[in-house]
Structure 1
Amino acid sequence: MWIGFTLLAAFMQAWRNALQSKLSQDVSITGVTLARFIAAGPIAALYLAILYQTHSVPKLSFSNTFYLYIAQASLMQIIATALMVKLFTLKNYAVGAGLAKSEAIVAAVFGLMFFGVQLTALGWAGVAVGALAVMVLSGAFKLNSASRLSNESKGSYSWSTVLLGLACGSAFALTSLSVREASLQLQGPYMVRAAWVLLLVISSQTLILVSYLLLKQRQTLVKLWRNKQLTLAVSVTSCIGSIGWFSAMTLESVPLVKTLGQIEVFFMLLIGRYWLKQPNTKSDVLGLLLIAVAALLVIWG
């Protein structure tokens, strides 16, 4: 089940990132970040209501620790999304989103250090290969005319961009780890637990960002309304993707979910090539193959 939820999440997130990249051409970083959440709350509430009608749910107890993880996940995801939108302005869509996929290796390290997550040898191998794939996709290496891997020497590769990508990945990793821990604080069917976490996280994020924009950037809210179809598309794909991520992370450890989730890069390259009209390089293809290897190692592990 966690594999199916992860594949759904990766596919929807690839589209959400592409839509955010398009929206960022006309709307500020904060506005694009809000677009991810602004219409997702009602969808999450409807999803939770349907689950209550189709599942036997015991009375849930929400502890202070649960709310602490909700607050941490909410803030980290806002920061991570803002950093990723910033990456879109520095690189093309596929590269920017690819850099954010450093989340898998960061999640593995943070999970081991702070959350007691344990991986098998194959799982760690998958994380390592996934990290290498992210570096290749980011432009740290490229294939020369002889099709050999070499360090890029012409200065287009920016370590500041990579550091921004690592910061983005770290914030996403803390989001994912916090989501899993929040879900584990509850009792009941895993889909219901994940849905409660999703609803509370989205509601918190919407409240925070709308309040900020009302105080500081009211014109951004006007621009989101002018781009309401694109804004709605971002929210819908984001919410469906989050349902997949939150459900998968309730069932399985975050490093494994996020490493398999790097199959999203495959969808990103296709969307970038055929919808955004951004060509793929040999390094993109190599990175894609490494992503596939990483996903297989995780599944076997």
Structure 2
Amino acid sequence: MSWIVLTCFAAFCQAWRNAFQSKLSKQLNVIGVTLSRFLLASPLALLYLYGLYQWQPTGLPSFSAKSWGFIISAAVMQIVATALMVVLFKQKNFAVGAGLAKCEAPVAAFLGVLFFGTTLTYWGWLGVAVGAIAVLILSSPDMIRNISIKTVAIGLACSTAFALTSLWIREASLSLSLPFPHSAAWILFLVIFIQTLILTTYLFIRDKETLRQMFKQRKLVTMTSIASFFGSLGWFSAMSLQTVPYVKTLGQIEIFFMMLISAFWLKEQTRRKDIFALLLVAVAATLVIFQ
């Protein structure tokens, strides 16, 4: 049941990361906010990998062309997903923007079953469905009648990008001939390193001003990177142990942490339908845990 603890930890850290990114989106452009997620996470991931080998020595991984394909695809797709998440923050308030991206769970379920050989029990499907309903309720500004088509389109694209990222991360971890948690640690480091390299190179060549603005916001950038690293550590590890739809459905408890942060740190009002959505998330989490 380690995946349950890891998922809850990841959801807590991700809620804070999203909150920090929401703040940063007011001072930085989309690429700058996206890089803030990865910038300092690379050395932290390398330090974690080193510490893991000191604690439990094992062999080095053997990477096939298939493994590298999963790793690079996941790295690029997560950049796209994060950028879309930042765009969502600019469309609606923090809670709605982050809530829309939580459609990742049902999308991952369908894509996983169709293309990745994922299998779910009937109770598991029910849990994913209940979680999806909770997200739809949360994501609507004023229930379904006033929902923004543009925001829904961006949210669906964001969810799909995150779902593909998660599925490829799991496949990459399973493709390595290493035990857990070493396999997850290697994928964590390589994915974050590739993302940092891509975005830093792009900004250095095309937009040095954004790098200067990031330095001015270094405290918030640092908090974003740290929260992102611990969140990714939890997600990558959990998805190495359990199928993505179950992990992401349970991960919707992030909504609870998100509401607390929105109310007490971002000073946003919690609505009655958000409480109802949270209750549905609790039902969905129970179903996937005991499926």
Q: TM (normalized to structure 1)?
A: 0.95
Counterpart secondary structure, 2:76: helix
Pair 1:198-2:188 in alignment: yes
2:164 corresponds to which residue? 174
Q: Give the match for residue 54 of structure 2.
A: 53
The 4+ residue runs of structure 1 with deviation greater than 6 A are none
Question: Who is 2:206 aligned against?
Answer: 216
Name the SS of the counterpart of 2:181 in structure 1: helix
Q: Which residue of structure 2 aligns with residue 148 of structure 1?
A: none
* 1:22 equivalent in alignment to 2:23: yes
8 Å CA contact retained: 1:10, 1:263: yes
Q: Is the 8 A contact 1:94 1:269 kept in 2?
A: yes
Letter in 2 for 1:33: T
Give the counterpart of 2:237 among 236, 247, 264.
247
Q: AA paired with 1:119?
A: L
Aligned with 1:263 (options 253, 259, 264): 253
Asked whether the equivalents of residues 135 and 277 of structure 2 are also in contact (C-alpha less than 8 Å), the reply is: yes
- The answer to whether the 8 Å contact 2:96/2:141 transfers is no
Q: Any conservation in 2 of the 1:73–1:178 contact (CA below 8 Å)? A: yes
- What is the letter of the counterpart of residue 162 of structure 1? V
- CA shift digits 1:243-281 (9 cap, x unpaired): 000000000000000000000011001100110000011
Corresponding residue of 2:265: 275
Q: Over residues 214-271 of structure 1, what are the superposed CA-to-partner deviations in whole Å (9 max), with x where a residue is unaligned? A: 1221110001000001000000000001000000000000000000000001100110
Q: Which residue of 2 aligns with 1:101?
A: 102
Match of 2:43 in 1: 42
Asked if the contact 1:133–1:288 (Cα under 8 Å) also holds between the matched residues in 2, the reply is yes
Task: Output the CA distance in 2 between the equivalents of 1:287 and 1:141.
Answer: 13
Q: 1:228 and 1:247 mapped to 2: Cα distance?
A: 28
The answer for the alignment partner of 1:225 in structure 2 is 215
CA distance in 2, matches of 1:129, 1:183: 28
Cα root mean square deviation, aligned? 1.0
Contact 1:135 1:141 in 2 (8 A): no
Supply the AA of the counterpart residue of 1:217. D
Find the aligned partners of 1:57 and 1:104 in 2 and give their Cα distance. Answer: 33
Alignment of 1:66-85 (within 5 A): 66-85=67-86
CA contact (8 A) 2:62 2:176 kept: yes
Deviations 1:79-132 (A, max 9, x none): 000000000011111110000000000000000011000000010001000110
Q: TM-score if structure 2 supplies the norm length?
A: 0.98
Partner of residue 147, structure 1: none
1:6 and 2:10 aligned: no
Structure 2 letter corresponding to 1:160: K
Q: Distance in 1 between matches of 2:64 and 2:132?
A: 36
Letter in 2 for 1:110: L
1:188 aligns with 2:188: no
Secondary structure of the corresponding residue to residue 119 of structure 1: coil
Identity, % of aligned positions:
55
Partner Cα distance (2:202, 2:56) in 1: 37
Secondary structure class of the residue paired with 2:199: helix
What is the letter of the counterpart of residue 132 of structure 1?
Answer: I
Structure 1 counterpart of 2:150: 160
CA contact (8 A) 1:141 1:283 kept: no
Q: Aligned partner of 1:300: which letter?
A: F
In the alignment, residue 128 of structure 2 is paired with which amino acid?
A: V
Q: Which amino acid aligns with 1:83?
A: L
Where structure 1 has 5 or more consecutive residues not aligned to the other structure, the ranges are: 143-150
